[in-house]
């Protein structure tokens, strides 16, 4: 809004003729600034934290979901972050493209346990303004992390979660419960309130019929254990769906849960 437009909007609130000129100008300025602030707040897009899968990074994930990203970006501010662990070429079959760094949120030990999960949670929390995130979207390992972050209680204004090809990882939910207890003790004194609140956050989990890396049953278990989940199958493999019909389902889910 231009300053020249302000008097038109403020006519109903202008002081009487008896008000001194200085006070009149102060009133106009104050009301103008209030209107400007309200307009800026109204135009602010909801923020979505976007978490890549294992063997990806923020840039590659953004590129791989370009079709979905462009549609989401019309309504939302998408915040992509890199995982904390850089994987070397050859790790678990990984191959590197030129000038590319493959990353992970956590890794598996020689005993096949997932380790560095607590560090991943704390890292993701520290990389964002956790009070401003409205939703979390994650693929594969990033989807598991998205669910765990919702359960941790670290994002007080979080309204929903979207995942694709995300496996159930016991350690992720266990660490989320511990973190939620710590947050709860500091904030409310109720050791289970934040985790229970996280279970109630709506979650939309997608699994691929032809996913050779993450069985649909594993994603379904994440849906069941993560609370308040909707489980859907798509006809593709291990990817975040970008076909228009599936993207529309995601958009509808976000809109239905006050992310608009």
Q: Using alpha carbons only, give the angle 101, 105, 107 rounded to the nearest 5 degrees.
A: 95
Look at residue 177 and tell me if it is in a domain.
yes
Q: Which residue range is the domain that position 27 belongs to?
A: 16-44
Segment 61-70, tens digit of pLDDT = 999 999 999 9
Residues 53 and 35 in one domain: no
Segment 153-187, tens digit of pLDDT = 999 999 999 999 999 999 999 999 999 999 887 77
Residues 134 and 159 in one domain: yes
Quote the pLDDT of residue 184: 83
Residues 63 and 24 in one domain: no
Residues 85 and 190 in one domain: yes
- Gyration radius of the chain over CA positions: 23
Handedness of CA 176, 181, 184, 186 (dihedral sign): negative
Angle between helices 216-226 and 141-152 (to 10 degrees): 10
Look at residue 168 and tell me if it is in a domain.
yes
Segment 227-249, tens digit of pLDDT = 999 999 999 999 999 999 999 99
pLDDT at 9 over 80: no
Averaged pLDDT of the chain = 85
The mean pLDDT of 57-63, rounded to a whole number, is 97
């Amino acid at each position: 809004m231009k300053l020249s437009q302000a008097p038109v909007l403020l006519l109903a609130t202008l002081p009487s003729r008896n008000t001194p000129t200085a006070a009149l100008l102060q009133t106009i300025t104050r009301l103008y600034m209030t209107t400007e602030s309200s307009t800026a707040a109204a135009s602010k897009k909801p923020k979505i934290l976007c978490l890549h899968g294992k063997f990806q990074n923020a840039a590659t994930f953004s590129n791989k979901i370009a079709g979905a990203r462009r549609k989401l970006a019309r309504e939302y501010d998408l915040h992509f972050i890199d995982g904390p662990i850089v994987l070397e070429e050859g790790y678990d079959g990984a191959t590197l493209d030129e000038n590319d760094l493959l990353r992970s949120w956590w890794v598996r030990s020689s005993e096949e346990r997932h380790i560095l999960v607590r560090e991943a949670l704390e890292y993701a929390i520290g990389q964002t303004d956790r009070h401003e995130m409205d939703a979390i979207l994650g693929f594969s390992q990033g989807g598991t992390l998205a669910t765990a972050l919702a359960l941790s209680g670290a994002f007080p204004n979080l309204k929903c979660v979207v995942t694709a090809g995300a496996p159930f990882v016991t350690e992720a939910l266990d660490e989320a419960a511990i973190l939620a207890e710590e947050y709860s003790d500091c904030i409310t004194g109720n050791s289970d309130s934040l985790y229970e609140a996280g279970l109630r956050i709506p979650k939309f989990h997608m699994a691929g019929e032809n996913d050779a890396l993450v069985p649909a049953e594993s994603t379904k278990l994440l849906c069941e254990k993560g609370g308040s989940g909707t489980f859907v199958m798509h006809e593709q493999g291990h990817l975040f769906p970008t076909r228009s019909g599936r993207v529309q389902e995601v958009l509808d889910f976000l809109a239905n849960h006050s992310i608009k």
